[in-house]
Amino acid sequence: MSNNWNILNFGNLIILEYGNTLTEENRSGGDYPVYGSNGIIGFHKAYLLDSPNIIVGRKGSVGEVVWANKNCWAIDTTYYVTLKQDNSLRFIYWLLKSFDLRKLDSSTGVPGLNRNDVYRIKCNLPSLPEQEKIAEILDTMDEAIAKTEECIAKLKKIKAGLVHDLLTRGIDENGELRDPVRHPEQFKQSAIGLIPKEWDIKELSQLATVDRGKFTHRPRNDPNFYGGQYPFIQTGDIAQNLGQVIRSYTQTLNENGAKVSREFPVGTIAVTIAANIADTAILGIPMFFPDSIVGVTVFPQFNHRLVELCIRFAKHKLDAKATQSAQKNINLEDLRPLLIPFPRNPKEQDRMSSVYEKFDERLKKEEAYLEKLKLHKKGLMHDLLTGKVRVNHL
């Protein structure tokens, strides 16, 4: 910490005031946001607090710190901040955010935050001009993160539309999406609706072998079958790598495990058929999996990325077929006859796959940039709020 910074307790800087009760049935709607312990939960015609203010979760989402930039109402599951000294409110916001107040949960039932525990926390306080500069820098980081998140959200919407267009219109030899309105002669009716004339309707079993994974030993978690050289994935791994090439794993099988399971080759599309229906990922390395996952091994003459997109596009149809017992599930009889519109020309298959892959790569770059920004912000918060890095040196 810098020599000319003061070390104080939060109790010297702020008062955490109790919010006021405003039940859901009494919220009238209107211009003023109503804050609960985890952010805005409604609107009301009247307000309790002038803006800006800091709302801190007291019950429920303990220790959540939210900035309220409009006049608002804070309900009784929250605290709001009153300054005791002439300090930057925005700096105090960042200072509170830098501490994990959730660790102060003092309840045994519903999570709860005792304000006296917050008051005892020691913090570093620079001069007011330096507070304002620090807050400005961190706000700039927050704005960059928000803009990147907004960009990613837009790209995801565009991506969903792109997949729909690719799988219903295709890409012609000029690299353009076909247009059923301007060129209806390029399309035909099929069992699943309008498709390009150069396409056929195929069952999934005509494009790939479709086989269930397996793990026949019971109990499934017997440690004698795990901890070897063979990667083993389950439905949760697919959900975490949705639509991606999967190379990571958290479990392995030993020789005993491999004997009671089934290995699938690189390029196999792993499709979940229990709990989460029709989540998909493409194997980047050979892997084993249990019977809650189906391996779709695409025949060499077809593009496996395009087949994966078609299965993913049919997720809602497959989910509607799921039987409900202890958990939702489908079986091979649902997957193998799945009707898929598919280009006859391998070059068009590759064009469609390439367009998708390029767009997905752009999205991945934005997501990687977002993670980089978040890490940079975390480091900046530590360095600036402790005085390790002084703003006059930036």
**Cα–Cα distance, 164 to 161 (Å, whole number):** 5
Strands 32-36 and 73-74: parallel
> CB within 8 A of 114, min separation 6: which ones?
104, 106
Quick one: pLDDT at residue 206?
98
Q: Can you tell me the distance from the alpha carbon of 65 to that of 62, in angstroms, rounded to the nearest whole number?
A: 9
List the structure tokens of 109: 């039932």
The first and second tokens of residue 40, run together, are 């805005």
- What pLDDT score was predicted for residue 275? 85
Mean pLDDT over 225-236 rounds to 97
Kindly report, as residue ranges, where domains of CATH 1.10.287.1120 are found in the chain: 127-181+344-394
DSSP 326-348: SSEE--HHHHTT-EEEEES-HHH
In this prediction the pTM is 0.86
3-state DSSP assignment of residue 18: strand
Phi, psi of 251 (to 5 degrees): -125, 150
Are the C-beta atoms of 180 and 169 separated by less than 8 Å? Answer: yes
**What CATH code is assigned to 199-343?**
3.90.220.20
2: pLDDT confidence band, cut at 50, 70 and 90?
low
Contacts of 125 (CB under 8 A, 6+ apart): 5, 6, 7, 8, 13, 87, 131
Condensed to tens digits (0 to 9), the pLDDT of residues 268-323 reads 999 999 989 999 999 999 999 999 999 999 999 999 999 999 999 999 999 998 87
* H or E element, residue 118: helix 115-119
- Integer-rounded Cα Rg, in Å, for the chain is 28
For the domain covering 127-181+344-394, report its CATH number.
1.10.287.1120
Q: Give the CB-side neighbour count of residue 140, counting CA atoms within 13 A.
A: 8
**Which are the contacts of 293, defined by CB distance < 8 A and separation ≥ 6?**
212, 213, 233, 234, 235, 238, 270, 271, 272, 273
State the burial class of residue 384 (Cβ atoms within 10 Å of its Cβ: 0-12, 13-18, 19+): buried
In which band, very low, low, confident or very high, does the pLDDT at 4 lie, cut at 50, 70 and 90? confident
pLDDT band at 391 (very low <50, low <70, confident <90, very high): confident
- Which helix (H) or strand (E) covers residue 277, if one does? strand 276-283
Residues 187 and 181 sit within 8 Å (Cβ to Cβ): no
> CA geometry: angle at 299 spanning 319 and 256, to 5°?
75
Third-level CATH fold of 6-125: Adenine-n6-DNA-methyltransferase TaqI; Chain A, domain 2 (3.90.220)
- Distance CA(47)–CA(60), nearest Å, equals 22
Query: pLDDT class for 327, splitting at 50, 70, 90?
Result: confident
pLDDT recorded at residue 89 = 98
Tokens 């955490």 — which residue? 16
For residue 346, what pLDDT is reported?
Answer: 97
What is residue 111's predicted lDDT score, i.e. its pLDDT? 80
The proportion of the chain whose per-residue pLDDT surpasses 70, expressed as a percent, equals 97
Segment 149-201, tens digit of pLDDT: 999 999 999 999 999 999 999 999 999 999 999 999 999 999 999 999 999 99
329-343: average pLDDT: 95
**Which of 16, 216, 182 has its CA nearest to residue 96?**
16
Q: Are 16 and 118 in contact (CB under 8 A)?
A: yes
**Placement of tokens 């790598």 in the chain:** 241
Which part of the chain has CATH 3.90.220.20?
A: 6-125, 199-343
pLDDT at 1 over 60: no
- The number of residues in the chain equals 394
Which two tokens mark 49? 């607090």
Q: Is 90 exceeded by the pLDDT of residue 219?
A: yes
Task: Please give the Cα distance from 276 to 258 (Å, whole number).
Answer: 25
Model confidence over 32-87: pLDDT tens digits? 999 999 999 999 999 999 999 999 999 988 999 999 999 999 999 999 999 999 99
Contacts of 377 (CB under 8 A, 6+ apart): 138, 141, 142, 145
Q: Where does the pLDDT of residue 394 fall: very low under 50, low under 70, confident under 90, or very high at 90 and above?
A: low
What confidence tens digit (pLDDT) does each residue in 87-96 have? 999 999 999 9
The predicted pLDDT at position 341 comes to 96
As a whole number of angstroms, the distance between CA 311 and CA 290 comes to 19
Residue 191: burial class (beta carbons within 10 Å; 0-12, 13-18, 19+): exposed
Beta-bridged to residue 188, according to DSSP, are 195
Q: 73: closest CA among 17, 14, 13, 10?
A: 17
320, with CB counted inside 10 A (0-12, 13-18, 19+), is exposed
Model confidence at 3: pLDDT above 90? no
